[in-house]
């Protein structure tokens, strides 16, 4: 299993293929339905966003409170719920999304046209995923609780390349 960093995404993104298992380290941001809605409201108003979308990694997750470690259980949310937002974010330079399940045709198109990727975390393994999260801090929308936007520092997070930069997919083989 190869190791990659979010910090130099553009150097390795075109080298990974759909179906490949990787270990990812670096910075990722959590955003789910409610956070995406607020981010898009901020964009419409011309307000500052909670994080720079360009080259960002978004993990569709809402972790439980920590009992020990940085967070509690932190499994992926079904990605298709964010498909209405994802194409615009990829067009803004988003590097990757992390979640579970297949994506819409519009997301496939946006990934391919903008050099993005889609990574899948293993559903039902939130306790295992939380072990890769070394630091977590709420950076926006604290009132959303587990759905607030968080900045994670991750180390060797096990993921599968679900859709690569060419649009190849584990869901459509």
Helix (H), strand (E), coil (C) string for 38-105: HHHHHHHHCCCCCCCCCCCEEECECCCCCCCCCCCCCCECEHHHHCCCHHHHHHCCCCEEEEECCCCH
Does residue 173 lie within any of the structural domains? no
Q: Is the CB of residue 57 less than 8 Å from the CB of residue 99?
A: no
Does residue 99 lie within any of the structural domains? yes
Q: Which residues of the chain have pLDDT under 50?
A: none
Does residue 47 lie within any of the structural domains? yes
Does residue 158 lie within any of the structural domains? yes
Does residue 168 lie within any of the structural domains? no
Global model pTM greater than 0.85? yes
Total number of domains in the chain: 1
Does residue 93 lie within any of the structural domains? yes
Tell me the average pLDDT of the chain: 95
Q: For 169, which DSSP code?
A: B
Domain of residue 99 covers 2-163
- Quote the CA–CA distance of 59 and 79 in Å, as a whole number: 9
Q: Is the CB of residue 13 less than 8 Å from the CB of residue 95?
A: yes
Does residue 169 lie within any of the structural domains? no
Q: Is the CB of residue 60 less than 8 Å from the CB of residue 76?
A: yes
Does residue 36 lie within any of the structural domains? yes
Q: Is the CB of residue 166 less than 8 Å from the CB of residue 112?
A: yes
Q: What is the pLDDT of residues 12-31, one digit of tens each?
A: 999 999 999 999 999 999 99
């Amino acid at each position: 299993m190869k190791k990659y960093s979010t910090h130099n995404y553009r150097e390795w993104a075109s080298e990974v293929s759909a179906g490949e298992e990787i270990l990812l380290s670096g910075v990722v941001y959590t955003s789910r339905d409610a956070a995406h809605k607020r981010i898009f409201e901020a964009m419409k108003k011309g307000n500052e966003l909670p994080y720079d979308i360009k080259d960002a990694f978004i993990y569709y997750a809402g972790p439980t409170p920590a009992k020990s470690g940085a967070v509690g259980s932190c499994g992926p949310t079904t990605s298709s719920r964010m498909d209405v937002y994802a194409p615009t974010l990829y067009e803004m330079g988003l590097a990757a999304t992390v979640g579970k399940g297949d994506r819409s045709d519009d997301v496939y198109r946006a990934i391919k046209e903008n050099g993005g990727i889609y990574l899948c975390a293993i559903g039902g393994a939130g306790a295992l995923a939380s072990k890769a999260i070394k630091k977590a801090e709420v950076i926006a929308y604290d009132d959303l609780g587990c759905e607030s936007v968080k900045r994670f520092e991750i180390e060797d997070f096990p993921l599968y390349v679900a859709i690569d930069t060419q649009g190849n997919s584990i869901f459509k083989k």
